[in-house]
Amino acid sequence: MSMMVTGGAGYIGSHAVKALLRDGHDVVVVDNLCRGHIEAIERLRSLAPDRLHFVRSNVGETVHMESVLREHAVKSVLHFAALAYVGESVKEPLHYHRNNTSAALALVEACHRAGVERFVFSSTCATYGEPEANCIPIREDCPQKPINPYGWSKLHVERILADYAAYCQDAGRPFAYAALRYFNVAGSDRDRLIGEHHDPETHLIPVVLQAACGVRDEITIHGTDYPTPDGTCIRDYVHVEDLIDAHLVALNALEPAENGADQRHYNLGIGKGYSVREVIDCARNVTGRDIPVAEGPRRAGDPPVLYCDPSCINSELGWSASTPDLESMIDSAWQWMLAHPQGYATQSAANA
């Protein structure tokens, strides 16, 4: 029996694949490589050549996904495959709904046909939109009111899973799912085998580190007049390895049963936030390098403060982040960037 990881050539998905291989599982990776990296798969394959199976495909191809699920006797799916640029989703909403929502629906249908019993979904804090001040820290019962197509595309999948789980309960089919709502994922594999590589890069920590190593000229702070101690936005960061550990804990806790569908929704974060200036100052300390900063206007839709209350997953599953300090998160990302200043393109250039 194998585990399927969709989007397993991407940043978060590749870390999930590594953890599953480490734990002795056979892993089927499905990725169309539109934004994933075949170099990540090649590196991961070196860990367990006989237990990693790569399928280049769109998860929205129901018939093909059903065939792959059956061929490998998959009973558990971790679904990471998605587009994840908020600004792009505003410019190309149909593309996001097709790729994130419709493709997930097709995948769930394939899982239904193939008898998959456990499904862990990579959701997002973007489903909460701009929470009211009295909802900070954000709990799972905070109203979900997305303000962009990306957030809606993820919330629609949560609805699909809930409706399917209700059907399974009525039909006596074993099924259980967890929807994990991320805040800001940071850091890289401490072995430096795999890491974060986006094009374009929009995440704050790698952007700051790119400025530290000269890949970009400076880092722009978007808004310095927010009602926060230093005037910049505050966000919750969680190390990618902690995030994946939460996925595996949630997966193992799911209990498919014919007399009821297990449904779980958890926020994933460390439960406190760091400001943009704190991230930059910490990066300066970690790298020992100057990081040029420019100040720009606020971006539309950036709330002053966003961080979660992770007590639900802590109390129900015993999970909490093992790396809550910003310095350790930044250091792991920095070690990856020092070895791969152009991400996976560094390896490609070296092999050319």
With cut-offs at 50, 70 and 90, classify the pLDDT of residue 347.
low
With cut-offs at 50, 70 and 90, classify the pLDDT of residue 91.
very high
Task: Return the HEC string of 140-184.
Answer: CCCCCCCCCHHHHHHHHHHHHHHHHHHHHHHHCCCCEEEEEEECE
* Span 68-79, pLDDT tens digits: 999 999 999 999
* CA–CA distance, 76 with 29 (Å, rounded to integer): 12
| Nearest partner of 182 among 127, 136, 103, judged by Cα | 127
Tally of domains in the chain: 1
DSSP 239: E
Q: Which of 11, 96, 150, 237 is flagged as catalytic?
A: 150
With cut-offs at 50, 70 and 90, classify the pLDDT of residue 352.
very low
pLDDT at residue 349 above 80?
no
| CATH number of the domain encompassing residue 345 | 3.40.50.720
Indicate the Cα dihedral angle 194, 10, 50, 45, nearest 10°: -30
| Nearest partner of 275 among 237, 332, 324, judged by Cα | 237
340's CB contacts (< 8 A; 6+ apart) are: 192, 195, 197, 346, 347
The per-residue pLDDT of the chain, averaged, comes to 95
Q: What is the CA radius of gyration of the chain?
A: 20
Q: What is the span of the domain harbouring residue 47?
A: 2-351
By CB neighbour count within 10 A (0-12 exposed, 13-18 middle, 19+ buried), where does 231 fall? middle
pLDDT at residue 185 above 60?
yes
267: its two tokens: 């926020």
9's CB contacts (< 8 A; 6+ apart) are: 29, 31, 33, 36, 37, 38, 40, 41, 54
* CA–CA distance, 167 with 175 (Å, rounded to integer): 10
Q: Return the SS3 of 267.
A: strand
Query: Per-residue pLDDT averaged across 162-174, rounded?
Result: 94
* CA–CA distance, 113 with 29 (Å, rounded to integer): 19
Q: What are phi and psi of 55, to 5 degrees?
A: -125, 115
Are 179 and 321 in contact, with CB atoms under 8 Å apart? no
* Span 200-235, pLDDT tens digits: 999 999 999 999 999 899 999 999 999 999 999 999
3-state helix, strand, coil in the chain (%, to 5): 45, 20, 40
| Nearest partner of 332 among 196, 169, 234, judged by Cα | 196
Q: Return the SS3 of 331.
A: helix
With cut-offs at 50, 70 and 90, classify the pLDDT of residue 300.
confident
Give the pTM: 0.95
Lowest-confidence range among 18-32, 84-98, 251-265? 251-265
pLDDT at residue 348 above 70?
no
* CA–CA distance, 302 with 25 (Å, rounded to integer): 40
* CA–CA distance, 218 with 32 (Å, rounded to integer): 33
Lowest-confidence range among 59-68, 127-136, 307-316? 127-136
Q: For this structure, is 150 an active site residue?
A: yes
349: its two tokens: 């250039």
Are 235 and 125 in contact, with CB atoms under 8 Å apart? no
pLDDT at residue 95 above 60?
yes
Are 19 and 48 in contact, with CB atoms under 8 Å apart? no
